[in-house]
Amino acid sequence: MQNQANSISGIRPCIMVRVLSRVKYFIVMSAETRQLSPSVVWNHFEDLNAVPRPSKKEERVVEWIIDFGKKLGFETTCDNCVKPGLGNVVIKKPATPGMEDRPTIVLQSHLDMVHQKNNDTDFDFSTQGIQSYIDGDWVKAKGTTLGADNGMGVAASMAVLSSTDIKHPAIEALFTIDEETGMTGAINLNDSVLTGQIMLNLDTEDDDELCIGCAGGIDTNASLSYTEEATLAGLSGLSISVKGLKGGHSGMDIHLGLGNANKIMNRLLFGTNASFGTRISSIDGGGLRNAIPRESNATIAVANATEMKNHVQNLASEIKAEYATTEPNLSIEISNASTPEKVLPLALQEQMLAAIYVLHNGVYRMSADIPDLVETSNSLARILVKDGQFMAQCLTRSSVDSSKMDLANSLKAAFQLMGAKVEQGGEYPGWAPLPDAPILKTMRSLYTNMFNEEPQVKACHAGLECGIIGKHYPKLHMISFGPNIKGPHSPDEKVHIASVEKFWNFLLNTLENIPHMN
């Protein structure tokens, strides 16, 4: 890989076409990114980012990682794979000489990535490789998510597997699927595919943290079919857009006071029928269940367009002032549009707006036991109103199961009051910390000696696969760490260049100093 990087030094990134599983896709090779240090990690990351890998459509990347393991000559299996892409991948590498007496280490990361792009970005995730570039101290992608979550973890595992000069115990590299939209890879993990005693999960986003616990979660999904009504004569069409929000991870970023496009749109529309004769035709807000919604668009019909415009513009000024610090690029626009032919029934419109208004979004409770840890939260991730169908999605997270269900049931009640059908599922457990685990003691000491500071030992308010994998392997000692990644799950995602090298060196030191276990 180093030779390849050197051969393209000084050349503008080139576009190539590769065929995998009879599907054509484009690779954008970033010469400058490939030459970053450690080059072995960055080259594996660029190779990975050339392969389309959305959640629930990982067939190509699963086939690709299986081929990687087999070419290295290692035992490579697809866990419960009926066909490529329907299971996790495990690649086993023997211990290096002198390390055979250490416990086997599971290096765990997930293959899928969140696919999000800006509205003005022309990009096809199914055929194009992620276009990375260097921006100062960071690596970003051109108008899309970067895939550092969890591509940096995958790349680090690949670098360990392909190495010939790294000291390490026996390695079981576990690459899971579908982490971002349900964690079904971890949920369906075979109970006998791993033999390791220690698992290093490479999927956190602050390089000074050692994560030893995480939140569980549950989805609350609401749906309702309705019969559209013909728009009354004399009404005028208007279009409203909310955009420019930062978005981000609905767990790790939920405490930052960021705007939720679905809640802002609802605030603009609430109560306007009485004053302006507003009738809603459609609303389309948010995208992925685990991302804070950045945009929402609505089409309405009104009796008094001029006054409605003034109302929205005045309210927009107030909202933008409220979010001036956390959302400086928030944009709220209202403009003329063709009058829609169909609208929601008025009674349902009022019930829907009221239900969404009372729906809790954001931090629900802070932990009373762990400083600065969000215990319970909810994100109203998706609202879709169109063609006689209402749909809403929420993701509730908590490190306390009873609090998680308390909040989830309040959401259920709000949707039921508007007559919607509510389904709750996708529940996954939290990860209970083991503060006395030998691996934590070793890694704390290593970190302090390497970087002359104490690491932050924390639990996080995100859904890591550790909790689920721990259900399959209850004796497995687990710890999670990674480089600095900002804005995951959004087109603003970026990874800090220096922290990748720090993360890599820390991983190598950890593998070399794995403690014996009784």
Within 10 Å of residue 387's Cβ, how many Cβ atoms?
Answer: 11
- Please indicate whether residue 387 is annotated as part of the active site: no
Catalytic entry in 112, 172, 209, 295:
112
Whole-angstrom distance, CA of residue 57 vs CA of residue 206? 28
- Please indicate whether residue 295 is annotated as part of the active site: no
Encode 5-51 in three state secondary structure. Answer: HHHCCCCCCCEEEEEECCEEEEEECCHHHHCCCCHHHHHHHHHHHCC
Q: Can you spell out the DSSP letters for 56-88?
A: T--HHHHHHHHHHHHHTT-EEEEET-SSTTSSE
**Are 78 and 87 contacting, i.e. CB atoms less than 8 angstroms apart?**
yes
**Are 323 and 292 contacting, i.e. CB atoms less than 8 angstroms apart?**
no
Whole-angstrom distance, CA of residue 199 vs CA of residue 175? 12
Phi and psi at residue 334, in whole multiples of 5°?
Answer: -130, 135
Whole-angstrom distance, CA of residue 139 vs CA of residue 333? 32
Contacts of 263 by beta carbon, 8 Å cutoff, 6+ apart: 356, 361, 380
Whole-angstrom distance, CA of residue 504 vs CA of residue 518? 28
**150: exposed, middle or buried (C-beta count within 10 Å: 0-12, 13-18, 19+)?**
buried
Catalytic entry in 46, 58, 179, 219:
179
Amino acid present at 135? D
Residues recognised as catalytic = 112, 179
